[in-house]
Chain A
């Protein structure tokens, strides 16, 4: 299995500011993903974090709003830029080693924007 940690676990931010969320995996993984879970909703994929190249974003999500880095095979960051109250959500990082492996999830970062 893979153990994933996220920092911070929660934060309360002011409108117009930015927050960077870190995701650390305890072993090398092939794929890393960032999901958003809005209050009372299920998970929606924001983007696939590609090692050494630009992230692949899903429809409705753009790099200027959610810049992502993945400098190596165990670490990724997601920045939520110019935040508004609508960005209040839980942001989850996940990872997969490829093949028939399960997808492992971090504990999430609970973001509240005032």
Chain B
């Protein structure tokens, strides 16, 4: 059974600092990995999707890497801003059109 872990559970940084969020998964036979953002009381916004054959994806200040063999992904957020404060979730899928298995999330607070 796939298990996804996110460390740390919470993170507080001053504005401008780079953020590093970690995600690990126990079964390396994944189809893709997604990073989501969730604001309090809201739904999920997809940030980045990495296919199992890819090593990384970038979008603006966000960069996500994937090391499938070691079961790890890292989300980097450069030059953090207070608006980046949210919970970040990673999730893996075993096959196309398959369910997502989520990690517990990392709650991020960026202080002005």
Q: A: which residues have CB within 8 A of B? A: 30-31, 33, 41-45, 48, 58, 90, 92, 94, 96, 98-100, 102-108, 110
| CB < 8 Å neighbour of A100 from B42, B43, B51, B105 | B51
Give Cα A103 to B34, complex, Å: 9
Indicate whether A110 sits within 8 Å of B41 (C-beta atoms), given known contacts A42-B89, A100-B32, A104-B46.
yes
Q: A105-B44, A108-B42 are in contact. Are A96 and B97 (CB under 8 A)?
A: yes
How many CB-defined contacts (below 8 Å) exist between A and B?
55
- Is the CB of B104 closer than 8 A to any CB of chain A? yes
Q: Which residues of B contact A44 (CB under 8 A)?
A: 102
Known: A42-B89, A42-B104, A43-B89. A102 touches B46 (CB 8 A): yes
Task: Tell me whether B86 is interfacial, beta carbon within 8 Å.
Answer: no
Contact indicator B34/A102 (Cβ below 8 Å): yes
